[in-house]
Amino acid sequence: MSQLHTVNKSPLDRNALESAVLHATKGSAVLMIEDGVYGAMQGTSKSSIVNNAMGDVSFYVLGPDLKARGIDEDRVIDGVEIVDYSGFVELVAKHATTQSWL
Amino acid sequence: MSDVKKFLYVNRKAPYGTIYALESLEVVLIGAAFEQDVALAFLDDGVYQLTKGQATEEVGMKNFSPTYKALGDYDVNKIYVEKESLDARGLTLDDLLPLTYEDEDDDWAEKDSIRVVSAAEMAEIMDQADVVLSF
């Protein structure tokens, strides 16, 4: 079983997303939550972090945190799956371990 | 009125993830009562504070973004937003709340409070302030 990595920091403020993706093995998942959801936006100076790893790693973003921050779903990078809280729980249950990149 | 000082509130954090944005807004509103020359600077992740369409029902937090619209009523109408920070985040002025104030020196005409400035201009604004409060 693979790992779930959660990231809750903005990639424009901290390197948590960058480091999580660097340490995510093929087939593992990265879930962006809280301020981490800015990492799922298209057209930012850090969008390449997700774009470049797409395919090797599955990317998810928490919908309620996107909405709180006024990020429209159509600005999310193609291929990033938007999940709700129960989707978050399913991801945790589906993976052997969860690592939080704080 | 020689004791009026130029206050600059510097905002560099995204809303909700940390308490800085809300705390800054509260301090600005309290400070507005003291009739000083107040300006707000938004740069780095701070520009995220001003985005339109914030809806916090599902995360169970208070959406404080409508409060920024009240700043004009408190004579807080110099809101500087750094262009480089917007660009890096794929944002434009259109993504931000339409903040306005009524200019008492111009027959109460409604004017925009937000001024998009370059990093170099922001540096000048910071340099000219008498008091800088950082969030």
Using a CB–CB cutoff of 8 Å, tell me whether B15 touches chain A: yes
**Segments making up each domain of chain A, as ranges:** 3-101
Q: A72 contacts in B (CB within 8 Å)?
A: 53
Using a CB–CB cutoff of 8 Å, tell me whether B66 touches chain A: no
Q: Would you say residue B49 lies in a domain?
A: yes
Q: Would you say residue B1 lies in a domain?
A: no
Note the pLDDT of residue A17: 98
pTM of the model: 0.95
The 10s digit of each residue's pLDDT in B20-30 is: 999 999 999 99
Q: In this complex, which of A34, A41, A68 lies closest to B56 when CB atoms are compared?
A: A68
Using a CB–CB cutoff of 8 Å, tell me whether B30 touches chain A: no
Is A38 in contact with B90 (Cβ distance < 8 A)?
Answer: no
Range of the domain at B82: 6-134
The 10s digit of each residue's pLDDT in B82-91 is: 999 999 999 9
Please tell me the distance in Å from A58's CA to the nearest CA on chain B.
Answer: 23
Please tell me the distance in Å from B131's CA to the nearest CA on chain A.
Answer: 25
Kindly provide the residue ranges of all beta strands, DSSP E only, lying in chain A, ordered along the sequence.
3-7, 29-32, 58-62, 81-83, 97-101
Q: How far is CA A37 from CA A6, A41, A69, B12, B60, in A?
A: 10, 7, 9, 17, 17
Q: What is the mean pLDDT of chain A?
A: 97
Which homologous superfamily does the CATH classification assign to the domain defined by A3-101? DsrEFH-like (3.40.1260.10)
The 10s digit of each residue's pLDDT in B34-91 is: 889 999 999 999 999 999 999 999 999 999 999 999 999 999 999 999 999 999 999 9
Count of CB contacts below 8 A, A vs B?
A: 72
Whole-complex ipTM: 0.93
Count how many domains chain B has.
1
Q: Would you say residue B64 lies in a domain?
A: yes
* 3-state secondary structure (DSSP) of residue B100: strand
Residue A62 has pLDDT above 80, yes or no: yes
Nearest CA in chain A to B46: A13
Note the pLDDT of residue B1: 53
- Cα B51 to chain centroid, rounded: 11
Supply the CATH number for residue B50's domain.
3.40.1260.10
Q: How sure is the predictor about B33, in pLDDT bands with cuts at 50, 70 and 90? A: confident
Q: How sure is the predictor about A1, in pLDDT bands with cuts at 50, 70 and 90? A: low
